Amino acid sequence: MFKKVLIGGAGAVLVAAALSPATGAAAAQAPVPLRDPVPAARVTVDLVQVNGSGCRPGSAAVSVAADNTAFTVTYSEYLAQVGKDAKATDFRKNCQLGVRVNVPQGFTYAVARTDYRGFASLEPGATGTQQASYYFQGMSRTTSHSHTFHGPVQDNWQASDSTAIESLEFAPCGAQRNFNINTELRVDAGSSDSARTTSFMAMDSTDGSLSTVYHFAWKKCPTRR
């Protein structure tokens, strides 16, 4: 559950836009592009770096789907807020993660789609923005996306980003490269009454019910001769 007590009350193609929870509709999700079969051997993911104002060490966790199709990141203290119960620096929170995906021999992977979920409480006139970028260690290409939500909102939020199959960035075959994830939550009071109210946006879930899911696209590596 969310800690509401704290607040006192270039080839990437965006195919699923962020929708305001006020519409009552979930973000549409495009099929994850797959090139080759999912490896049968177990895939594991290690969280090797955690840094940022929104994810102090111990407040982020990672797990892998049993069918090797995705991995999930869950946060327990990731919340940005503005208003009467917020500190001056609370309007922006960020998290930098380094994950090591241990793939079966003969395979490599890309991240084909990311599904973000959280909770927002935004007063009329306030906005909340979620941003993310990710890239492989030692590689210059970075994929970035941003979603903005407009108050009034008092509900779960969801957004999805997908990359066209021809633009997928795969990890180099035979090399171990960390997958670096940089995310940010930002809340702007706008025209809301920040002296009397508080607005917040969170990717904060202690029970794992709200999380970020990174969907794999797998590819077989060329056979060496």
What's the predicted TM-score (pTM) here? 0.82
Q: Which of these, 145, 168, 98, 153, lies nearest to 121 by C-alpha position?
A: 153
Q: Using the 8-state DSSP alphabet, how is residue 208 labeled?
A: S
Q: Are 225 and 128 in contact (CB under 8 A)?
A: no
Q: Are strands 198-202 and 79-83 parallel, antiparallel or unpaired?
A: antiparallel
Q: Tokens 């009552």: give the residue.
A: 24
- 129-177 confidence digits (pLDDT tens): 999 999 999 887 777 899 999 999 999 999 999 888 888 999 999 888 9
Question: Which stretches of the chain score pLDDT less than 50?
Answer: 1-33
Q: Which helix (H) or strand (E) holds 45?
A: strand 44-51
* pLDDT attached to residue 206: 57
Label residue 11 exposed, middle or buried (CB < 10 Å: 0-12, 13-18, 19+).
Answer: exposed
Burial 14-38 (b: 16+ CB within 10 A, else e): eebebbbbbeeeebeebebbeeeeb
How far does the chain reach from its first CA to its final CA, in angstroms?
Answer: 53
* pLDDT attached to residue 61: 93
Q: Tokens 């909770």: give the residue.
A: 119
Q: 23 φ, ψ to 5°?
A: -75, -15
* pLDDT attached to residue 208: 63
* pLDDT attached to residue 165: 85
Report, in angstroms and rounded to the nearest whole number, the Rg of the chain calculated over CA atoms.
18
Q: What is the DSSP string of 103-159?
A: PPTTEEEEEEEEEEEEEEEE-TT-EEEEEEEEEETT----EEEEEEEESSEEEEEEE
C-alpha 189, offset from chain centre:
23
Please give the single-letter amino acid code of residue 197.
T
